[in-house]
Homo-oligomer: A and B are copies of this chain.
Amino acid sequence: MPLNESWQTGEIPGPKKASLIVKPDIADAMIRRAKRPILIVGHGILEYEVEGLRLIDCLIELAKKGKIPVVVTASTNKEFLARGYIPAAIMPAVDIANRLTDATWKGIDGKDTYDLAIFVGLPYSMEWTILSGLKHFAPGVKTMTLDCVYQPNASWSFPNSTIKEWAASLRAIVANLGD
């Protein structure tokens, strides 16, 4: 599998493409460096379970450790609630992305703009187009995806990976963040 090609073969991006998160520390560094990160979680995460670890639990840990507010889309909320974690906001993916393009938007807490938006779990092509929207129209927001496939329109993305490699990376990111 090619590392840094669109997972959907035809969804070729233009000249500006995501840097690869080749090592988990890269993602950690970016998250640490961000003043106001936000995590947007789509329904796709509900499917993933590797070696007993459910992705959603990993993300909750990430959000807690990194103190990152979570926006849930679609029905993802139910699963978070079921785990006793109350997301910062429930909002469709296009709505939160649209707000991120507004440089005057003060965030879900009304305090300030976000400088890093971390996406995970949206359908591939929907995430592709939404990240494209942000690439072009949200110059102040860096974007990162935590999916196991390359998303060229993000600022940083994992390469196309096997579920195993990817789960290991995620675990490492979360572990590091705790440091």
Q: Which residues of A contact B (CB under 8 A)?
A: 5, 9-10, 12-15
8 contacts between A and B (CB under 8 A): A5-B15, A9-B15, A10-B14, A10-B15, A12-B12, A12-B13, A12-B14, A12-B15
A15 to B152 alpha-carbon distance, docked (Å):
13
Residue of B nearest to A12 (CB): B14
Question: Within 8 Å CB of A5, what residues of B?
Answer: 15
In whole angstroms, what is the CA distance A40 to B149 when docked?
A: 40
A-B pairs with lowest CB-CB distance, top 8: A9-B15, A12-B14, A12-B12, A12-B15, A5-B15, A10-B15, A10-B14, A12-B13
CB-CB nearest in chain B for A6: B15
A49 to B15, CA, bound (A): 31
Closest to A11 in B: B15
| A14 (CB) vs chain B CBs: closest residue | B12
Q: Once the chains are docked, how many angstroms separate the CA of A5 from the CA of B13?
A: 12
Which single residue of chain B is at the shortest CB-CB distance from A2?
A: B15
For A14, the chain B residues whose CB sits under 8 A away are 10, 12
User: Of all chain B residues, which has the CB nearest A15?
Assistant: B9
Q: By CB atoms of chain B within 10 A, which of A5, A12, A15 has the most? A: A15
Residue of B nearest to A16 (CB): B9
- Smallest beta-carbon distance A18→chain B, Å: 14
- The docked-state distance in angstroms from the alpha carbon of A5 to that of B15 is 8
- Separation of A15 and B2 alpha carbons in the complex (Å): 11
Instruction: Give the chain B neighbours of A9 by CB distance below 8 A.
Output: 15
The residue of chain B having its C-beta at the shortest distance from the C-beta of A8 within the complex is B15
Query: Which residues of chain B come closer than 8 Å to A10, judged between CB atoms?
Result: 14-15
> How far, in whole Å, are A13 and B5 apart by their CA atoms in the complex?
12
Give the CA-CA distance A49 to B60 in the complex, in Å.
Answer: 62
